[in-house]
Structure 1
């Protein structure tokens, strides 16, 4: 069941295998055993990808929620050192768009101690005690740290509906907005998008550049151009009609991970913050398909 839950969350046997530290073949074998027990197919196996069957879609939510409940129960029961505050570090955009809106639920659930948010696009040394828990984006491995993936990123073109873009060819006459990635080799940028779209001749190096993802999105909201942005973290603007994702393709990104040192994870308060963090992003990332343009 753990193999199925991970494979269903990622829609990938390989990513599930990475999380559980086994081979993709072992994941496939475990899922076959579960399908044999149930007498039902849980996945539609396609070339280089899998999709949930109707039975798999019915099984996944209660199984996911059940594992999360186990984690919370163990965190509440297990003894460990207590502390007055827990410091959670994350990227600037993740902090602004996911953690700050969820602070109210934290105060309601844990009124007796403080959550300190530290936002930085540079990784913080958890072993040095600069923070207790981190949210990091990337593939890993994260040496010396334990944790779990939260959700996978997806990137695509985002712009104001006022621009009236209807197809990729419209980009030939649009202003492209750029974000300076900290790791250019892994950038989800216009150059990478143009390769996926097969668009030769697109001026992928021209247009304003921003050091902040949020500044690029604000410029897109204002109608100053089209940005390649997170379809998950920009969901509030998409749902409000301030931004649209007018067309694909979509760049499949890496995952956000919740991480801590083993020593910190032994602390009951740290585990409680981790359980809250998993809950706060579950609904946010549950429906991570891009919304249609309006």
Structure 2
């Protein structure tokens, strides 16, 4: 008689426990209690009549059988996730296009333009996956994405959208009521905000880099506000709490509407290999929905001031 295999939920619990080699961390990831994880692992071991973990008072490690099942569970869950993604795409019809992108690009650039696309292509329904996570087109239920990076994505078509110029911005109220900003050194009397971002040896322009480009070599960056995202740094400027370094393309509308001002014209280009890219699997390049969105987005990107 064939022995029953663990269900999907149990397999996910085992995979997380085996990956972390810690029931507490696995429980945190899965939204369970450590006791529940331990109980599910015991049930799997009883069901298979196999010892999967060697437990001591302080640590756990996989047995040889546990290692075999761990490798198989990774492959099985990945295959299932990819199949579910394909099934969802097949069942949601040909009118829907799901776009994945980060919050800043969505709120500061795309959403104020997307009505134009809907008017031009009323037969295509757009839905958005707003996240800073990089989605997998085979595993996740998305069709096309906008990513910031170097544009080298195996198996994906990538179209560069526009250059990124980093400029200082602040609220009109701060400029009117705070210490005057006549020259770069006047910034020493203000709270300065920027983001901390590095990839592949490239650093996103920060205040030290901007001051150096402005000819100021004795700047002390220890008092700057460092944010994890450009959205937060820009919000600090909008709220009148700081002068922030921001991507010109992302704040162009705030500047034109008077919500932000640019106290100095000096801007710094992000390393040329990095930019926002439109990306999608090569296999869907001729899909009518993808082609329509691609042509429209590239056209809109060409209008973006840099």
Q: TM-score range by the shorter chain?
A: 0.5 to 0.7
**Distance in 1 separating the partners of 2:295 and 2:202:** 33
Which digits, 9 at most, give the CA deviation of each residue in 1:135-182, with x for residues without a partner?
122223222211321111100111123324221011111111132436
| Alignment length (residue pairs) | 205
Counterpart in the other structure of 1:277? 297
Deviation digits for residues 200-254 of structure 1 (CA, Å, limit 9, x no counterpart):
2322232333333222222212221111101121011111222222224311123
1:250 paired residue number: 267
Partners of 1:186 and 1:132 in 2: CA distance: 30
Partner residue in 2 for 1:92:
103
TM-score (norm 2): 0.61
Question: Residue 149 of structure 2 is aligned with which of 133, 138, 141?
Answer: 138
Query: Residue 140 and residue 83 in structure 1: after superposition, are their counterparts in 2 closer, same or farther (change >3 A)?
Result: same
Q: Distance in 2 between matches of 1:224 and 1:134?
A: 33
Higher Cα radius of gyration: 2
Pairs within 5 Å for 1:55-70? none
CA shift digits 1:1-58 (9 cap, x unpaired)? xxxxxxxxxxxxxxxxxxxxxxxxxxxxxxxxxxxxxxxxxxxxxxxxxxxxxxxxxx
Give, in angstroms, the shift of residue 185 of structure 1: 4.3
In 2, Cα distance between equivalents of 1:279 and 1:148 = 12
The alignment status of 1:203 with 2:220, answered yes or no, reads yes
1:166 to 154, 157, 182: 182
Whole-angstrom CA distance in 2 between matches of 1:166 and 1:215: 26
2:74 counterpart residue number? none
Q: Tell me, which stretches of 5 or more residues in structure 1 are unaligned?
A: 1-81, 289-294
- Give 3-state SS (helix, strand or coil) of 1:165's partner: coil
Q: 1:195 aligns to what SS in structure 2?
A: helix
Deviation at 1:186, TM superposition (A): 2.0
For 1:126 and 1:241, the matched residues in 2 are separated by 39
| Partner of residue 238, structure 2 | 221
Q: Determine whether 1:263 maps to 2:263.
A: no
C-alpha distance in 1, partners of 2:106/2:193?
Answer: 22
Q: What is the RMSD of the two structures over their aligned residues, measured on CA atoms?
A: 2.1
Superposed CA deviations along residues 89-131 of structure 1, whole A, max 9, x for unmatched, are 1221111112211221222122223111112222222243442
Larger relative contact order, structure 1 or 2 (CA cutoff 8 Å, min sep 6): 1
